Amino acid sequence: TQLLEQSPQFLSIQEGENLTVYCNSSSVFSSLQWYRQEPGEGPVLLVTVVTGGEVKKLKRLTFQFGDARKDSSLHITAAQTGDTGLYLCAGRSNFGNEKLTFGTGTRLTIIP
């Protein structure tokens, strides 16, 4: 069974600070995605990383896939209150259209 552990589980920081969220596994993934989920809504895809060591930027969010494709990180620069939400990593072992294995989630709260 593949597991994706996210840390920290909860994070509260002041607006304007930087933060990093981690997604770790002992398994290798062919691709890894990051989603954000707001209360009462389904997860919304932020990014997909495929290549070991890959870095992708989405405005103030920087995503990195580990060299061995077992872990990933999400770094937010100058956090804003609109970044508040549940951040989920999710991986696939093989090709597309197979099931996603979701991580345990990081609930982020940005304090004004």
Partner 1 sequence: EPEVTQTPSHQVTQMGQEVILRCVPISNHLYFYWYRQILGQKVEFLVSFYNNEISEKSEIFDDQFSVERPDGSNFTLKIRSTKLEDSAMYFCASSEPGRGLYEKLFFGSGTQLSVL
**By CB under 8 A, which span of 11-19, 60-68, 73-81, 98-106 interacts with partner 1?**
98-106
Considering only 66, 74, 105, 110, the residue that binds partner 1 (CB under 8 A) is 105
Question: Closest by alpha carbon to 47, among 97, 87, 103?
Answer: 87
Considering only 83, 92, 106, 108, the residue that binds partner 1 (CB under 8 A) is 92
Question: Closest by alpha carbon to 30, among 76, 111, 94, 84?
Answer: 94
Q: Does residue 82 interact with partner 1 by CB under 8 A?
A: no
* CA quadruple 112, 61, 49, 73: dihedral sign: negative
CA distances from 78 to 27, 31, 93, 112 (A): 32, 27, 33, 12
**By CB under 8 A, which span of 13-21, 52-60, 67-75, 94-102 interacts with partner 1?**
94-102
Q: Does residue 21 interact with partner 1 by CB under 8 A?
A: no
Hey, what are 54's tokens?
């890959």
Hey, what are 6's tokens?
């996210």
The number of residues that bind partner 1 (CB under 8 A) is 24
Q: Which residues bind partner 1 (CB under 8 A)?
A: 30-31, 40-45, 48, 50, 88, 90, 92, 95-105
